[in-house]
Structure formats: structure tokens, C-alpha cells
Structure 1
Amino acid sequence: MKSKKLFRIIAACILLAVMILLMFTRLYHRGTSVKRPKNAYKRHIEQFKSSVDMDKDGIDDQSDILNSALYYIQTKPKYESRYYIGGTPNDGYGVCTDVVAAALFGAGYDLQKLVSEDINEHPQNYDIQSPDKNIDYRRVRNLQVYFKNNTKSLTTDLSEIEEWQGGDIVIFKKHIGIVSDRRDKNGVPYIIHHGSKYQRAYEQKYLKSKSDEIVGHYRWELESKN
């Protein structure tokens, strides 16, 4: 009798723990915040402005890229990697590369087309057996090649805080995001990104904790190829 009672107690505890875990997981996922963090850095750093306004909307490219990234995350995309005919997610889901594609599209640039053209013109730069326009521009490794060869490459040293500007693009070993115009108390900017189903916010302190994984820092200046 005692063993049966003990078994029931243990089973009830396990069931309760599972229910609590499921509730916590759902709340954690629902808690992904679009609220912008405060700028905690006291010293003023002049925000870089591009000399180009591709879409002729009166807003320079650098600002347009930043604003478009912020606009995209306001849609609260859910994280999941899916394949789409046409390439662009249209069902509320997305991954890290979609933040960058949306940011550039809002400034007047079609990243899908640009990457596809670059793969066709310079296949030796990409380790791709069968190019697929629907997915190639949504892979971090391909974007690293594209940005390195077609845009302005900048420092990856976080101590050079003035060189990190809102609207820049930062690439990690397996991730990508847009640099925010808001900074922590040390002047290191936040990152606008989408990397997990359980991400607490779309704009986060991320650079310092992942500094050893940074592989590239770029600015969208196509006229400055290197």
C-alpha cells in the first residue's frame, strides 16, 4: 500500500512538473518583445548617413535599412526555417536572414536578386552545386560571401564603438543581424535579429557575448566594392 501511494505521489509530481514546463515554454515564446531598449550610452555618437537614397523616399539608405529592420520585427515573425517558392516568407514565419532581406528591401534593394546574380556571375566564390534562387539568399554562408565581395567591410573590434553604426550588417558563424542605433552603457550597440523560437526580444545585447563568433561587419555601400 505504501509503495502504491508513493508511486502515485511521484507520478503526480512528474505530471505537475511537465505541465509547468509546458506553460513556461509557451509563455517564454509569447514573451518575445518588440519593445525597443533604451539607449544607455551617455556620450553622443553621430549616426552615419548614407549619400545614397535608392528608393527616392527622402530617407538615406543607412537609415532606411535600420528603420525597415525595425518595421519588420514589429510584425512579430515566428522563428521557423521553411522553404518558399518565390523565396520570401508570406505566412508570419522567418529566420535571421529574413530580417536582413526585409531591411534591404525597405531601402530599395532586392537581396534575392542580387545574391542570385552574384552566384551566377561568380560561381567560384560560392560552394554551391545547384543554385536555387528561392533559398540561396536565405543562407548565412552565402550572405557572408556576398557582403564580403560587394559591400564595405568594417572592423570587427567592439572597442571601436564609433565604427559600429545603426543599419550596419553583422555576420556571425551561423547567424546574421542588423546593428541597432541604440547602445548599452559601454557604447556597444544592440543587435536587431531573429535567431530562436524562444528569443526574449528582437533587439538585444548580443555582440559582446558572441564576439568570438563575429566573421564580418559590413555597411551597404555597393559603390565601395573591395
Structure 2
Amino acid sequence: MKLTESKKAPRRRRVTVIVVIAALLIAALGIWLAVKKMTRIHYASDFGFEDIKSAADADGDGIDDYTDIKNGALAYIATNPIYGSKYYNGGYPDDGQGVCTDVIWTAFAAAGYDLKAMVDRDIAEHPEAYPDIQKPDPNIDFRRVRNLKIFFERHAEVLPTDFRDRSEWQPGDIVIFDPSHIGICSDKRNFHGVPYLIHHGNIEDGAVEADDMRRMKVVGHYRWRVSENIQ
């Protein structure tokens, strides 16, 4: 009888080891699947809603304004601009350098809008709306975040800055962050349904489309709308 029990003991240990290994493998697989799900790119349809399309097509290319703005922002970062804040005669960077606001006017140009002209006109016609501007400077005013915030508050649809309703965050939306940063919403989303941000961050990060939306405090969220008063 003792011999029989002694033979059973190693077998029990082997079974225990196999069970433990199997449990560890299952746990590891579960963790891997969870991480994969959290890190993979999601889209609006994964959360039960669709991307909004604009009724406007300013440049007449058959693509709506919101999509054009998003695509224009992506086209800008694809040029791999070097982060550098400089003043340019004429306003537009011509040396492969840029800052966050260059994503915005470039994106609008891709949709058929001259953001510089619109901002310059608004400043000239409504100087009281821009109290920080002592003397208008068309070479730089449209590349300042504080001026763009005022402009979009006046001429775009103002949207919530929290993320409780993910469907309110759409490709092509403009987002402004504290203290002085701006970017464009992508159609890509993270695990929680928050859009990726298309932006020219800083010297270290460069121009990217990344899951950066919640890395900074959102202080402005806008969607462009066609306005006869500003075109």
C-alpha cells in the first residue's frame, strides 16, 4: 500500500504542474488579447456610430469638407516638417519647418479655404474681438493659437470639451489645448473611442497622428461650418 501511494505522489505533482502551467498560459493569452484589443486602432463603427460628413465641399473635389480637413492635416504631417517657431515674410513657412498652427491652415487649404485670409479679415473688421492684438500682423496672426481660438469661437460650431459622448468627436474637428496647442481629430480612435490627434507637437515628438488627445487639457473643440460672413 505504501508503495502504491509513493507511486501516486509524483503523478499528482506532475498533474499539478501541468494545471499550473496551463493556467499561466491561459492567463498570459488573456492578457495578450486584452493588450491587443486596447492597442489596436478602432473606428467609429466599432462603437456603434458613424463619422459625420459635411454637406459642404468648398473645393468641389467630391470629398466633403470634414474629410478634406482631416486628409489635409495628414498630408501635412506626411511631409515630416521640423518643429521650429519662426517669423516669415508672407506668413507661410517655406523651409520645411513649422508649428502646431501650420497643421490647421494647411488642413483648411486642402478643403478649399484660405484660413489666413479669413483670420486677417476678421481681425481687421472686428478688432474688438481680438484684445491681445495691438497692431494686426498678417505675417503671424493666423499662426497664433490664441487668435485661432477666438476665430473658431466666432465662426465654427462650438462643441463639448469632455469625452462623455464619443460621437461628438469627429474627423476634421479642431481641438485646442491648454496652454497653447492645437490639432485636428483623426478618424482613428483608441480603445475608449477617443480620436487620435493629428498635430505638430514639439521638437521631440514631431508631427504625428497619435493617441495624444488626453495627454493635454482640452480648452476648445470646434467643427467648421460654412459662413457667408467670413468667406
TM-score, with length taken from structure 1:
0.79
Q: Distance in 2 between matches of 1:140 and 1:38?
A: 32
Residue matched to 1:13: none
Answer yes or no: is the 8 Å Cα contact 1:168–1:218 preserved in 2: yes
Residue matched to 1:40: 42
Residue matched to 2:226: 222
Q: Secondary structure at the match of 2:213?
A: coil
**For residues 183 and 80 of structure 1, do their structure 2 counterparts lie closer, same or farther at Cα, with a shift above 3 Å needed?**
same
Q: Which of 62, 65, 69 is matched with 1:61 structurally? A: 65
Deviation, 1:214, is 1.2
Answer yes or no: is the 8 Å Cα contact 2:77–2:207 preserved in 1: no
Q: Secondary structure at the match of 2:63?
A: coil
Q: Which of 161, 168, 177 is matched with 1:172 structurally? A: 177
Answer yes or no: is the 8 Å Cα contact 1:38–1:182 preserved in 2: no
Q: Quick one: which amino acid aligns to residue 114 of structure 2?
A: D
Q: Distance in 2 between matches of 1:200 and 1:185?
A: 24
Residue matched to 1:139: 144
The answer to whether residue 199 in structure 2 is matched with residue 197 in structure 1 is no
Answer yes or no: is the 8 Å Cα contact 1:47–1:166 preserved in 2: yes
Q: Secondary structure at the match of 2:200?
A: coil
Pick the structure with more helix per residue. Answer: 2
> Which structure: larger Rg?
2
Q: Quick one: which amino acid aligns to residue 108 of structure 1?
A: G
Alignment map for 1:40-119 (pairs within 5 Å)? 40=42, 42-119=46-123
Question: Identity over the aligned pairs, expressed in percent?
Answer: 52
Q: Distance in 1 between matches of 2:228 and 2:161?
A: 18
Q: Secondary structure at the match of 2:221?
A: strand
Deviations 1:170-196 (A, max 9, x none): 011210000010000110111000021
Deviations 1:87-110 (A, max 9, x none): 111110000000011000110111
Q: Quick one: which amino acid aligns to residue 87 of structure 2?
A: Y
> What stretches of structure 2 of length at least 5 have no aligned partner?
1-38
Q: Quick one: which amino acid aligns to residue 183 of structure 1?
A: R
Q: Quick one: which amino acid aligns to residue 210 of structure 2?
A: Q
Q: Distance in 1 between matches of 2:223 and 2:70?
A: 11
Bigger shift: residues 37-46 or 195-204: 37-46
Deviation, 1:137, is 0.3
Q: Secondary structure at the match of 1:148?
A: helix
What is the aligned residue count? Answer: 187
Answer yes or no: is the 8 Å Cα contact 1:152–1:222 preserved in 2: no
Answer yes or no: is the 8 Å Cα contact 1:65–1:106 preserved in 2: yes
Q: Distance in 2 between matches of 1:71 and 1:201?
A: 11
What is the RMSD computed on CA atoms of the aligned residues?
Answer: 1.7
> What stretches of structure 1 of length at least 5 have no aligned partner?
1-36
**For residues 91 and 141 of structure 1, do their structure 2 counterparts lie closer, same or farther at Cα, with a shift above 3 Å needed?**
same
